[in-house]
Amino acid sequence: PTRPIHYEGDQRLETADVYSRMYPSLDEIGKIVAAKEPVQAWGKTCEPQKYGAVPFVLCEYAHAMGNGPGGLKEYWDLFYRHDCLMGGFVWEWVDHGLRAKTPDGKEYFAYGGDFGDEPHDGNFVCDGLVFPDRRPSPGLIEYKKIIEPVKVEAADLAAGKLVIANRYDFIALDHLLMSWKLEVDGKWISSGSQPAPRLPARKSRSITIPFEPPPARSPQIGNGKEQDSEAWLTVSFSLAQDAPWAPRGHEVAWAQFPLPMKSARGQSLPPASLRGRGASLRAAQTAAARAARDEANAVEVVAHERDERAVYERDTPLTQERQAPTAAGLCAVEDGGRLRIAGPDFDLAFDRIRAVITSWRHRGQPLLLAGPRLNFWRATTDNDRGGWQKKESDEWLKAGLHWLQHRVEGIEVECLDADGASIVADATETATAGGTGADPHGHARMLGAHKAARAVRIVARVRIAPPMRGAAFDCEYIYTITAEGAVVIEVKGTPAGEWPETLPRIGLQMTIPQSLSRFEWFGRGPGESYPDSREAQRIGLWTASLDDLYTPYVFPQENGNRSDVRWVALTDARGAGFLAAAMAPSESSQMASANCSAMAPAGSLAAAERPTLNFSAHHFTTMDLENARHTHELIPRDAITLNLDHRQHALGSASCGPRAWPQYWLRPAPFQFAIRLRPIG
């Protein structure tokens, strides 16, 4: 015949010329490739001598519904490895949403049931690689990367030697231009271009990129300590001439490799424009304040080293003293259920009852409105909610992961000197504030007020559990607040009792002012990425607005995660805000000094070994996204919800296909991570 016949229902190959399956697992594909035993589908058995003698095609293998599909790479590794695999089809090309408007003019995309139609499939028709208006979804960008026709592997990176493989079946690489660039900490160092090597279809060869080794350097991060830089080589293949389907310069393939550098400490750095901001250590007052009125109209009393006091209104930062400062330490005052900490340029309030920061200001600017607090929930995706197999969302909801309660079981507070040793106040033992205080006589207890006080450490033991369930997370927060205003948070947790086999996420969630809507980060970008859908995002220095971080899926759900992030800066229009950097937990134990010297052990850290975090930020809360069914139902709030996550669960393709591959699952297991927050600007 001139046209091969495909029919998935012909599982005995009585008529079809190719064997076909829909959404097989990787194990099933391996069994079919081996062709050593009978296989079954649709209640029918096919013998290996039949299916092993014809090509095998996946009539569907990925379902592009909402945030996903994940796990494409593993399929394509098999496709390229075995000639008997023809490939497969993604369901489908476009979301079938129809443009609609609310009575007040808000535009959105409608789907099944929005027109009074019965029966209907709801948003199951919104399962394409492009949105209804034909904008590419993150899934299409990931798919393009996965199927790219040129593969590049490292041979000897120090010498610039790579291996190029032509994955085209019929054509050479003559139509492509190869270019490369070398970056250190996201900054351009050198670049070049040349015609792609003359390489026939399905062949490979070695090439050498003529770059100079990256400079060995140890830049400053504004705390007087060395940190490692990161060097990355990016190789790109683009059209050398216009083609009927794309213009000259259109990128068809790329690869990226970390390069060794000679410097040997710490994590990668913010760019020079962000280094050193907020690191000045002016003299600090040596006593502290307590509230004398209610939270809305309280006054603060600042006690200076010689017991000098000045009274300020509630909205005046502790650091705006009227007299010239005389010391370089910080002070801490315990006032009932609140702990107030102040340094040269900052003040911070900590709720001892709930073990959470309630305020953090730098030079009078609010940086934090609530949190950080451990969070295990995400707005469920279509893949979390759907599928023929076990539904992740059902298991998570049954376990109560969406309504976890935090119970504080113990708090310890101490002031530390530069060597991490505990010290006591050298001013008064109490700071009279004329109201209900830490003792029955209206006094706030002075925990520390000394020029040698370089940090305050708070250890909080918290049990996090859903109502009416026996399972819990036994957690410990260790906060280290330094004289420069940095806050280091090390978190440890151990699951107790029975939990589902996966968790949505593990991380810290907080609320920050809406003015901090400009983002710069070093990590994967510019788009969103997840454990099983991140190949299309390259390591670099990226910037985005808050709106840019949001992906408007037709049915609102988890979105906008950026992964493998070394640090992220959140600033306002003036460049003021704070920086969040991932740390190894072993580093955070060394954070007692005021300069916050988060130093790793001597020896270079490879890019894969560096501590990283995930971040996302939205105008909406997690439950706003969870409860909405259309984008117009999301009402922007007057503050930003920021997630700094240790890990996220994978996406998978379970809205119609398989769950995420087990290697990407976020399992309930003991965890430990650390994040440093530092004012900038």
pLDDT at 285 over 70: no
Phi and psi (nearest 5°) for 313?
Answer: -75, 165
Confidence tier at 305 by pLDDT (50, 70, 90): very low
Condensed to tens digits (0 to 9), the pLDDT of residues 212-225 reads: 888 765 443 333 33
* Top-confidence residue, 458 or 221: 458
Out of 240, 259, 278, a domain closes at 259
Enter the pTM of the model. Answer: 0.87
What is the pLDDT, as a whole number, of residue 424? Answer: 62
How many CA atoms are closer than 13 Å to the CA of 508, on its beta-carbon side? 29
Q: 63 and 125 share a domain?
A: yes
Q: 517 and 625 share a domain?
A: yes
Is there a domain that residue 545 lies in? yes
Q: Is 384 helix (H, G, I), strand (E, B) or coil?
A: helix
In this structure, of 281-285, 559-563, 639-643, the range with the lowest mean pLDDT score is 281-285
Whole-number average pLDDT of the chain: 85
Do residues 232 and 540 make contact, with C-beta atoms less than 8 angstroms apart? Answer: yes
Whether residue 526 has a cis bond before it, omega within 30° of 0 = yes
Confidence tier at 108 by pLDDT (50, 70, 90): very high
Condensed to tens digits (0 to 9), the pLDDT of residues 321-343 reads: 222 233 457 888 988 889 999 99
Q: 185 and 198 share a domain?
A: yes
Q: 169 and 248 share a domain?
A: yes
Q: 29 and 172 share a domain?
A: no
Cα separation, 256 vs 233, in Å, equals 6
Q: 404 and 306 share a domain?
A: yes
* Top-confidence residue, 94 or 323: 94
What is the pLDDT, as a whole number, of residue 336? Answer: 82
Out of 112, 146, 180, a domain closes at 146
The CATH number of the domain where 156 resides is what? 2.60.40.10
What is the pLDDT, as a whole number, of residue 444? Answer: 52
pLDDT at 349 over 70: yes
What is the pLDDT, as a whole number, of residue 226? Answer: 37
Residues with Cβ within 8 Å of 421's Cβ and at least 6 positions away in sequence, in order, are none
What is the pLDDT, as a whole number, of residue 449? Answer: 52
Mean pLDDT of the 556-562 span:
98
Q: 209 and 179 share a domain?
A: yes
Strands 56-63 and 19-22: parallel
pLDDT at 627 over 50: yes
* Structural domain boundaries, residue 50: 1-146
Place of tokens 């209610």: 294
Is there a domain that residue 207 lies in? yes
What is the pLDDT, as a whole number, of residue 589? Answer: 56
Residues with Cβ within 8 Å of 537's Cβ and at least 6 positions away in sequence, in order, are 524, 525, 526, 527, 528, 529, 562, 563
Is there a domain that residue 66 lies in? yes
What is the pLDDT, as a whole number, of residue 55? Answer: 97
pLDDT at 369 over 60: yes
Mean pLDDT of the 142-156 span:
97
Do residues 291 and 298 make contact, with C-beta atoms less than 8 angstroms apart? Answer: yes
Q: 597 and 551 share a domain?
A: yes
What is the pLDDT, as a whole number, of residue 1? Answer: 65
pLDDT at 356 over 90: yes
Is there a domain that residue 453 lies in? yes
Q: 459 and 601 share a domain?
A: yes
What is the pLDDT, as a whole number, of residue 588? Answer: 58
Q: 537 and 549 share a domain?
A: yes
Cα separation, 647 vs 145, in Å, equals 23
Confidence tier at 417 by pLDDT (50, 70, 90): confident
Cα separation, 400 vs 375, in Å, equals 12
What is the pLDDT, as a whole number, of residue 610? Answer: 86
Is there a domain that residue 281 lies in? no
Q: DSSP E strands: which ranges in 467-621?
A: 472-482, 487-496, 505-513, 518-525, 538-545, 562-565, 567-571, 577-583, 613-618
Confidence tier at 510 by pLDDT (50, 70, 90): very high
Token pair in block for residue 413: 């507070």
* Cβ count near 464 (within 10 Å): 18
Percent of the chain topping pLDDT 70:
80
Q: Tell me the torsion sign for CA atoms 132, 134, 135, 136.
A: positive
Is there a domain that residue 130 lies in? yes
What is the pLDDT, as a whole number, of residue 606? Answer: 63
Q: 446 and 487 share a domain?
A: yes
Q: 323 and 442 share a domain?
A: yes
* Top-confidence residue, 420 or 288: 420
Alpha helices in 124-195 (DSSP H): 138-146
Is there a domain that residue 292 lies in? no
Token pair in block for residue 137: 């979804």
pLDDT at 447 over 90: no
Cα separation, 228 vs 389, in Å, equals 45
pLDDT at 378 over 70: yes
Q: Is 28 helix (H, G, I), strand (E, B) or coil?
A: helix
Strands 405-416 and 455-465: antiparallel
Condensed to tens digits (0 to 9), the pLDDT of residues 574-583 reads: 999 999 999 9
Cα separation, 310 vs 319, in Å, equals 11
How many structural domains is the chain composed of?
Answer: 3
The CATH number of the domain where 388 resides is what? 2.70.98.10
In this structure, of 68-72, 153-157, 270-274, 370-374, the range with the lowest mean pLDDT score is 270-274
Cα separation, 348 vs 350, in Å, equals 7
Confidence tier at 299 by pLDDT (50, 70, 90): very low
Comparing CA positions, the residue from 148, 144, 124 lying closest to residue 136 is: 144
pLDDT at 359 over 90: yes
Selection from 222-226, 294-298, 358-362 with the highest mean pLDDT? 358-362
Token pair in block for residue 276: 């050193």
Percent of the chain topping pLDDT 90:
74
What is the pLDDT, as a whole number, of residue 334? Answer: 87
Out of 146, 175, 198, a domain closes at 146
Comparing CA positions, the residue from 502, 378, 384 lying closest to residue 69 is: 384
What is the pLDDT, as a whole number, of residue 331? Answer: 86
Helix (H) or strand (E) holding 50: helix 48-51
Is there a domain that residue 285 lies in? no
pLDDT at 162 over 80: yes
Give strand pairing partners of 40. Answer: 45
Integer angstrom CA distances of residue 89 from 61, 64, 441, 492, 530:
6, 11, 75, 43, 22
pLDDT at 130 over 70: yes
